Structure 1
């Protein structure tokens, strides 16, 4: 009895260790690019590109999709030829070094075509983008080596990759505006002057250099977590078959085992169900597979690109505090949705569709408020700010839950399904960027107004 109790305690502690490592591993997936975005208010005033930098970042991130495209094609045409662990080591190491170098060279400029440009910043950003984009098609398939419950923990870590930089930037004091009185001469003959408020960004508590070193340290933590997930002897017990599965044959055998266990995990699916398609284990028809991937691409397009690109327009009219509160609560909602999915993994395709419609409807309200900027609905009312913060929470919460459930479903369909999951995530983000870039950056359909002088009726 005593031996059994000690064994259970040891297993529980090892399970907690694996959960922690999976979370830290997932945290490294997008922390570099998420951190770069939240640091923009400090970077932009110091570089010649100014506020054109976000447009350049959007282009660089989409160019970096060459990484996941290469990995996906290798899995499709030469399965088993790509050493997944080696690729992960390379991209995490590259992310660590690039983040560290940003701390030294982000302000350095080079004369190109007669004008100064932040070549080092743009080049290192491309490397970081390649790291984060490629993580979508390498980190997720690697999680096949662990039991299914750790995939949800990985998604929590992926959510933390957006939350942690946002909290650090909040402590840093990024983008805090103070309205100062200023005078402007109106008529030089009679010395008439006009008083107006001028927006002034307050200095940050610590520099952008320190922030980039922090990002590099977090990537190093991700690397250590990955090493322990690979080589810690106790973590090996958390593998479905008690060890690593490196070969295609072993992977196929493991997928078959999960296919046999699936009816026990999903009570809605009959145990004697025949193969309905050639995808994964064949549990879903081709129409259902198409439906799942459409929802996945749509949810990622909205949450990764479309709505974040107009977040400032939707929130800033209600005040700087509302903007920071909405950004922080949205970042909190992502890991919270993953945490909920860990205990309530409802895998109903109908429920998933309903949540997608709900999240999209709330997203439409956010987009409407951004389009009405700088004078959205209830802009002079306290309820207006509360509603927009709540809208961002519900939007991120619902669609993040959908993304996790899709990941859980595809995890049971095998290693190849998770590779396609990562590819579709990047495809959705790409389509969102292609749609929003001309709308926001080229045609300037959205107007931010002056945070100190805009007057609305």
Structure 2
């Protein structure tokens, strides 16, 4: 039964970000079909940040109407919205309408907003729900959340998304001009269509819904506590930073049920000082800003100068690093705040290297060498891996404090993601701080 709960928790976490992550890895195909072209990613960034209205609304209602916002009902609602939006996207993703005299992907934008609304809101609903389960299943949930990026990435690689080859311009169809040789990028046709890929995302959302149903049907005496199904504790900064949230028995000892009739004391004695908890929440904000906002915006610039294969390897292995880090956290749990701080510094260092290579695009260090290609792939792998471990351990620490601490953890994660995205948007799309290169034609001095 414990194995079953692990599987359900993992599948439940899979639905947290699978839709938005899936759309990002499918962009190399989508941009070729929609009128916005390569401006589409900047539109998506804005839409995803607008979707943060979802978690903001849940948090405000949780504060103003404690005990009236039913945890199960909210999660069922957002999962249903995600499933319906994915199904509609299969049929309408490439439909356009005329706005201000020009064609725009209105249907795609609207449905993407609802998918982003689901994924953003999951940060402040899914994780607090997992607090009803023993702490070991929270780590499994994080594995599922990591797989929400890895699984679509693997499917996209199988699809052949964005794979390209360099073709001599004189050999291109309809081109019979002479002169200097010029190579152009030609994208290869995918192994299956975008409609099939989006249908796969809908299936993943259905699996997450089924897992949530299964978690709610667990025998009460076995794993799941149903005493606190209403969001009955208003999350506030003070409760997130100060309240341990553990029940006290008649002898004054804090304990929690673990299995049928069993009890265990809280592992970490969650009495941190306000300064320690401020530091913990800062880690949450910074790690999510780096992994969800700052660096994803420039991954193409940092990797594509080294070649198309390097870009896809870095994307795929970075997706693998997240669930691997979560798996490591299941067997090696280090809650030391000093250790997590040092690990964050290392992860930030790898991220800084990636950012520096993006800023140097189209001529980064060691371009055209095997060493340069290996370093940039390894740097992305370690960047995601180290900071993913920090994410998991911070979540475990806050899980042992209180429900409100987890709610504020989700809010801090979304705040970090928002700050990172808003910071990078003008640098990439307005000021053009990063310069793209042509993988088939060198723009660097020899």
TM-score by length of 2: 0.91
Offset at 1:254?
7.2
Whether 1:386 aligns to 2:374 is yes
Q: Specify which of 187, 207, 218 is matched with residue 204 of structure 2.
A: 218
In the other structure, the counterpart of 2:133 is 146
In the other structure, the counterpart of 1:255 is 246
Whether 1:429 aligns to 2:420 is no
In the other structure, the counterpart of 1:299 is 287
Distance in 2 separating the partners of 1:304 and 1:125: 17
Please say if residues 244 and 402 of structure 2, whose CA atoms lie closer than 8 Å, have aligned partners that are also in contact.
no
Whether 1:116 aligns to 2:103 is yes
Counterparts in 2 of 1:401 and 1:257: CA distance versus 1, 3 Å: farther
Offset at 1:219?
0.2
Distance in 2 separating the partners of 1:238 and 1:151: 13
Counterparts in 2 of 1:91 and 1:247: CA distance versus 1, 3 Å: closer
Whether 1:420 aligns to 2:397 is no
In the other structure, the counterpart of 1:410 is 398
Q: Specify which of 15, 19, 24 is matched with residue 6 of structure 2.
A: 19
Runs of at least 4 residues of structure 1 off by over 4 A? 247-254, 261-267
Offset at 1:370?
0.6
Offset at 1:255?
2.5
Please say if residues 170 and 178 of structure 2, whose CA atoms lie closer than 8 Å, have aligned partners that are also in contact.
no
In the other structure, the counterpart of 1:272 is none
Matches within 5 A, 1:89-104: 89-104=76-91
Please say if residues 44 and 50 of structure 1, whose CA atoms lie closer than 8 Å, have aligned partners that are also in contact.
yes
Q: Structure 1 stretch 16-25 or stretch 336-345: which is displaced more?
A: 336-345
Please say if residues 183 and 193 of structure 1, whose CA atoms lie closer than 8 Å, have aligned partners that are also in contact.
no
Please say if residues 293 and 417 of structure 2, whose CA atoms lie closer than 8 Å, have aligned partners that are also in contact.
yes
In the other structure, the counterpart of 1:208 is 194
Please say if residues 236 and 243 of structure 1, whose CA atoms lie closer than 8 Å, have aligned partners that are also in contact.
no
In the other structure, the counterpart of 1:133 is 120
Q: Secondary structure at the match of 1:328?
A: helix
Offset at 1:238?
1.4
Distance in 2 separating the partners of 1:399 and 1:57: 24
Counterparts in 2 of 1:169 and 1:248: CA distance versus 1, 3 Å: closer
Q: Specify which of 26, 29, 33 is matched with residue 46 of structure 1.
A: 33
In the other structure, the counterpart of 2:261 is none
Distance in 2 separating the partners of 1:372 and 1:61: 28
CA deviations 1:238-271 (Å, max 9, x no partner) are 13xx54432567999972259824995547x6xx
Q: Structure 1 stretch 212-221 or stretch 441-450: which is displaced more?
A: 441-450
In the other structure, the counterpart of 1:75 is 62
Q: Secondary structure at the match of 2:166?
A: strand
Distance in 1 separating the partners of 2:308 and 2:231: 53
Q: Secondary structure at the match of 1:337?
A: helix
Whether 1:246 aligns to 2:229 is yes
Offset at 1:236?
5.4
Higher helix share: 1
Q: Secondary structure at the match of 2:168?
A: strand
Distance in 2 separating the partners of 1:249 and 1:72: 12
Counterparts in 2 of 1:113 and 1:145: CA distance versus 1, 3 Å: same
In the other structure, the counterpart of 1:273 is none
In the other structure, the counterpart of 1:441 is 429
Please say if residues 338 and 400 of structure 1, whose CA atoms lie closer than 8 Å, have aligned partners that are also in contact.
yes
Offset at 1:79?
1.8
Counterparts in 2 of 1:253 and 1:314: CA distance versus 1, 3 Å: closer
Distance in 2 separating the partners of 1:256 and 1:351: 29
Q: Specify which of 159, 164, 171 is matched with residue 146 of structure 2.
A: 159
Q: Structure 1 stretch 68-77 or stretch 293-302: which is displaced more?
A: 68-77
The number of equivalent residue pairs is 423
CA deviations 1:346-389 (Å, max 9, x no partner) are 00111111111111111111100011111100012100000011
Please say if residues 294 and 424 of structure 2, whose CA atoms lie closer than 8 Å, have aligned partners that are also in contact.
yes
Please say if residues 60 and 126 of structure 1, whose CA atoms lie closer than 8 Å, have aligned partners that are also in contact.
yes
Offset at 1:100?
1.0
In the other structure, the counterpart of 2:239 is none
Structure 1 gap ranges (5+):
1-13, 186-190, 270-280
Whether 1:317 aligns to 2:305 is yes
In the other structure, the counterpart of 1:277 is none
Structure 2 gap ranges (5+):
235-242, 257-263
Q: Secondary structure at the match of 2:180?
A: strand
**RMSD across aligned positions (CA):** 2.1
